[in-house]
Amino acid sequence: MNPFVDSLSRAIATDPSAGRSGSAVRPGAVTRRAQRGASLIVALVALVAMISAGFALFRSVDSANLASTNYQFLRSAEQNTDMAMNEALLAYLQSSPTPALNVMDRNTNQAGIAYFAIQQPQSADGVPQVLQALAAPTWGAAGPNASGWPGEQIDAQSRQMRRYVIERMCTAAGAATANTCRLYEYQFPRNCLNNCGTGTSEWLPFVRITVRIDGPKNATAYSQMFLRGD
């Protein structure tokens, strides 16, 4: 036998692919393709996670900025609240720098100076509707524009408007009585010389002052104080 033919026959006999049609797929090639598909899925999941984290960070920064803005407004509103309370108190005590705002008659409603001898209807939060229903101020380049509310003031530095209402805690105008007003007992001083009635005390009505502060972006804050009237 021809040695070349014999060696060729042995090679064909030992070749696993002999007698098969087409080419065989090696197991290693299938594994590599599966690995590439799995890597693509992992990459997509990682991309979605990164996008979600980016949105979460954006919302966090936006919320932080909003909280910072609100905090600054509240700090400024506290200062303007104190000033508005002082202005209303001076008007009630007839000591306002603007004499026309002084409450000279405490037994009658005087809407023109934001004083009411009768307690006004209020919201569920206890804010007088006459003050809560006021429109937000319009804005110009220098801040809020005057609205014409009696006694209002505009703080140029904080760009906030302050307004107030004074109410006597009574259900009817006229002299304060136990049937129409919330009263407290005022004890006369031992050496009382002025405005002293007979006896040692008298009953006087409570008074409520409500302040409204309007700031940029329609931000609004309210504050109240009860005091013993006279």
Q: Which two tokens stand for residue 111?
A: 């809407």
The pLDDT, as a whole number, for residue 138 is: 93
Residue 202's DSSP bridge partners are 186
Residue 223's DSSP bridge partners are 211
| In the block, residue with structure tokens 């007088």 | 128
Choose among 135, 134, 210, 124: nearest CA to 167.
210
Residues 6+ apart with CB under 8 A from 145: 137, 138, 139
The pLDDT, as a whole number, for residue 157 is: 87
The pLDDT, as a whole number, for residue 148 is: 95
The pLDDT, as a whole number, for residue 113 is: 97
The pLDDT, as a whole number, for residue 161 is: 94
What residues of the chain score a pLDDT lower than 50? Answer: 2, 4-5, 7-9, 11-13, 15, 17-19, 21-22
CB 112 within 8 A of CB 163: no
**Cα(152)–Cα(40) distance, integer angstroms:** 66
The pLDDT, as a whole number, for residue 11 is: 47
- The number of residues making up the chain comes to 230
CB 225 within 8 A of CB 180: no
Cα angle 147, 148, 153; round to 5: 75
* Residue ranges per structural domain of the chain: 53-228
**Cα(175)–Cα(105) distance, integer angstroms:** 11
Query: What digits encode the pLDDT tens for the residues 83-133?
Result: 999 999 999 999 999 999 999 999 999 999 999 999 999 999 999 999 999
State the greatest distance between any 2 C-alpha atoms of the chain, in Å, as a whole number: 152
Question: What is the model's pTM?
Answer: 0.67
